Amino acid sequence: MAEKGFSLQQKAELFLARLLRFMPIDVASDIGAWLGRRSARKAIRLKRKWVARLHQNFERLEGIHDPQAREGRIIEHIEHIGRVYAEYPVLHKIAAERLTVRGSEHLSNINGPIICVSAHTGHWELMAEVMRRHDIMGAVLYDPIPDKARLQQALKIRRYFCPEDTGNRHIPASPTAARELLSWLKSGRGLLLYIDEEKDGLVWSPALGRQLPFAGNRVMAAKLAVKHDVPLIPIHIQRKNGAHYEAVIEAPIVVGDTSSRLRATEDVAAQLNDVLERWVKEDLGHWYWLAQLNLDKPFPG
């Protein structure tokens, strides 16, 4: 495996990933949990900026006013993040042995194109396995993150679950991505969009008390669904216990006001925010973007 251009830390992460691949699921996940707790305690001691954001978010979103109690939640959250990273090399085994699916009936009678919307909860990469189990050939929009080592791990597992040589597609976010997604949808195939994306230092949804701009993946999903009359299915992954997961498939989003395309799109986008906000609030500590969320940072424009 070529590792040119990687930092020493990234090379160490890739080496650890190769070792973890040969370990039992629980051992790999527990190593990640230990590394996460260790990292969290060090960051708390050093008063990192992201720790301050987590203090603020746990206080405002969970009503935890005691600093020590918030520190406990911060450690739990980063333990989860540690598990997420350590589980990448064994995610194929987790998908086969530790993933249950609830709500498959919502996908059983759908023929033709479909838009699945999800979020960075639990281990979101298992969404690809959910699509595979339900024979959904899909295009997945992803953010080409700056950390090349972690991007390499993510793309490796995504292409394992949904290989491109069987008709799937992995589309990096770009100015032309929307056009590619539309072309894919018109061909009669499915899309997977994560509607809680982080971009330009902002988490673009859910609102969580903020005034959101009419932009981002949430609005893109709403526009595509309304304009092309395509079913919009919310699905998210929950961590149940350790390295055990459940995918929850919900009923399709229903378009309310159809008197104009704009109002219909606004209605669907609002429903998507409500769904996403419910997911996040029900399981805040297992939401990946929690440490990046700045509730006071204004959106551009």
Banded model confidence at residue 289, pLDDT cuts 50, 70, 90? very high
Q: Tell whether the model's pLDDT for residue 5 goes beyond 80.
A: no
Q: In 3-state terms, what secondary structure has residue 236?
A: strand
Banded model confidence at residue 1, pLDDT cuts 50, 70, 90? very low
Q: Tell whether the model's pLDDT for residue 3 goes beyond 70.
A: no
Q: Tell whether the model's pLDDT for residue 116 goes beyond 90.
A: yes
CA angle 209, 178, 300 (to 5 degrees): 35
CA distance 204 to 195: 8
Question: 58-108: per-residue pLDDT in tens?
Answer: 999 999 999 999 999 999 999 999 999 999 999 999 999 999 999 999 998
Predicted confidence at residue 188, as pLDDT, reads 87
Q: Tell whether the model's pLDDT for residue 43 goes beyond 90.
A: yes
Tell me the pLDDT of the chain averaged across its residues: 93
Reading the block at residue 292, the tokens are 């990046």
**Letter for the amino acid at 110?**
I
Q: Which residue has the tokens 């055990």?
A: 244
**Residues contacting residue 154 through CB under 8 Å, at least 6 positions apart:** 88, 125, 142, 145
Predicted confidence at residue 267, as pLDDT, reads 95
Predicted confidence at residue 257, as pLDDT, reads 66
Q: Tell whether the model's pLDDT for residue 209 goes beyond 60.
A: yes
Q: What average pLDDT score do residues 190-212 get?
A: 96
CA distance 103 to 251: 8
**Ranges assigned E (strand) in the chain:** 99-102, 115-118, 138-142, 169-172, 190-194, 198-199, 202-203, 232-241, 244-249
Predicted confidence at residue 189, as pLDDT, reads 87
Q: What pTM was computed for the model?
A: 0.93
Q: What average pLDDT score do residues 205-231 get?
A: 95
Q: What average pLDDT score do residues 198-220 get?
A: 96
Q: What average pLDDT score do residues 153-179 get?
A: 83
